[in-house]
Structure 1
Amino acid sequence: MTRIIDSALDCKLLHSGPTQDESTLVLLRSKIFAIAKRLGISDLRREDILLVAAELATNNIKHANGRGMIQVWQQPGPVLDILSLDYGPGIADIAQAEQDGFSTANTFGKGLGAIRRLSDESYFYSQHNGSGPVTKWSGTVFLARFHLAADKSGVLGNDIGMFSRSLSDTRHNGDRIYLQKKDGRLRWLHLDGLGHGAEAQSATANLASHVDHPEGLEAILAGVDRQLVPTRGAVAAVCEIDTARRDLQLLGVGDMHARIFEKDEMQYVSFAPGILGREHRATSPFRATLGQRSVVVTASDGIRRNWDTGNFVGLFNQHPQLIAYTLGNIMGRVSDDQSICVSVVGK
Structure 2
Amino acid sequence: MTQTARAAVCRDWNTPIGVETIQVEAPRRDEVMIRLHACGVCHSDLSAATGVIAFPPPLVLGHEGAGEVVAVGEGVTDFSIGDRVITSFVSMCGTCRYCNAGRPVLCDTVNTALTTLPDGTVRTRDADGKDLSIFSGCGVMAEYATLHVNNVVPVTDNVPMDRAALVGCAVMTGVGAVFNTAQLEPGSTAVVFGAGGVGLNTIQGCRIAGARQIIAVDMSEEKLETAKRFGATDVVLADDKVHKAVRKLTGGGADYAFECVGRGAVAQQAYACLGKGGTVIIVGVAPQSDMTSVNTLSLPAQEKGIRGSWFGSARPRYDFPKLFGLYASGQLLLDELVTETYSIDEAPQAFADMEAGRNARGVIVFD
Q: Do these two structures clear the TM 0.5 threshold for a shared fold by scoring above it?
A: no
Question: Which structure has more RCO (C-alpha within 8 Å, separation ≥ 6)?
Answer: 2
The structure that is strand-richer by fraction is 1
